[in-house]
Structure 1
Amino acid sequence: MSVTLHQNWDYVDHGPALASRTALSKPEIWHLHSAPVKDSFYRRHCKRAVDLVLAVVLLAVLLLPMAVVALCLLIAQGRPLIYSGERMRAPGRPFRQYKFRTMVCDDDDGGATGAHKHWRITPLGRFLRRTRLDELPQLFNIIAGDMSFVGPRPPLPEYVERFPALYASVLQIKPGVTGLATLIYHRHEDRILANCSTAAETDRAYYARCLPTKLRIELVYRRVASPWLDFWIMWRTFLAVIPGLDRPRKRRGARAIRQPVPATAPERSR
């Protein structure tokens, strides 16, 4: 099975119609994926066991590197060392997600991270984010049963409160440290949010442009999840943090200089 998901985000219209859209329309996604999905044997019986065994093994191997990261954070940034944010495992089921702290503390500054938050990211935090070392404490979330290695990224409560029926479907699979949407879409999301200079712009862009696409991909994963796909996602995520291997491959036949195309004519998938 081969699935290609591509969008030419560089040439999407930035006009008033987009700026005025502040929320995701549920019907545009829901009607495509509303049918119930029966859990496979892997999801019902094997996925949790694989997560638990792999998390315990990795924790034993990575405990010393995590201690080194914690010491560097203590010297460079001071306390707290761990960021603990409320996320949702399912509608009505919150949990605390753990990461190494990479930003200057500001309890009133929540939501998606756009350009208006870049000043808060510390130099060491930027390195941890780039290498995804800040995610290592989530091994404890996996052992506790709140997360999996692969699945939809755990959403903020405000997103689930706004779209409870949709997230009830997406979160039939346990949230993951990485996932299909993270692997496919994170570069596009970073580019979109990097152009947002205020919290309001970030909120509009995330709800109107990022969230619809990410949820579509998460719903695709919900239908096709398998051990082979999970292994591929974890392997590609590992490669993505290695310098020199983190750039997407150029598609054959692509022109050196690309001309803008109309927003109504998305680039053809290959």
Structure 2
Amino acid sequence: MTPTLKKLLFFGVVLYLILLGAIIYERYRLLTNDQTASQTESNPIQIDQGTPLPQEATPQEETLPESVRMETPFLSQAPFGIWDDLHQETCEEASLMMVHYFRQKKEFLSLQQANLELVDLVTWQSARGYKVDVAVAELAEIARGYYGLATGRVIVDPTVDQIKKELAGGRPVIVPAAGRELPNPYFTPPGPRYHMVVIKGYDAAGFIVNDPGTRRGKDFRYNYDDLMRAMHDWNQDDINLGRKAVLVFD
């Protein structure tokens, strides 16, 4: 065998071995991939869905006390029982004074002192352009200007439960009303066209009020329907068309 033939034979054997190795490697790779795929199918990947978000708690309905009664000082709009032109129209001022003194944790020192303050309050607001009758929003302005009481809040179309919530929170409620719709036997007939009272509590029978329109107005009671029906803010044309609204101070 010539040297050239030997070289060709050698290279042929080497080439054969290389091809054989490549074939064996490719078969091994395919077999390995098949096994991996099979394991993946039998053991699916677990996807972390994350920590479940907490569900929003359902708000619990607030439970109101069965009854509330605040010790709100009483003041008749005519402290000495003299129902002159001025004192016929001071239910708003008397109502504001009762709430103010309650917030200050004070009592009226005397009828003289209370009447002087009542007259001064009327004079103050008259000098600033307020009319004889004022709506609850105007009364909130007067409270801010005269007493520095800037926390007045008017609630329009209040429900009985909304009023109860204010009372349960320790806040007396000033209510404007068509006075002749209020069933108060102590009013001189036909009763006031426009009136204000202070709700100081409630129980199963109705609202407990301080009604400044009579000297018997302390702890007077109106049932819920009567007071809610009579509730009307000031309306110059027709008091019965006045909106439903109340005034509270935070």
Q: Give TM class, smaller chain.
A: under 0.3
| Structure with more of its chain in helix, by fraction | 1
The structure richer in strand per residue is 2
* TM-score computed with the length of structure 2 as normaliser: 0.23
Task: Give the structure-1-normalised TM-score.
Answer: 0.22
| Greater Rg over alpha carbons, structure | 2
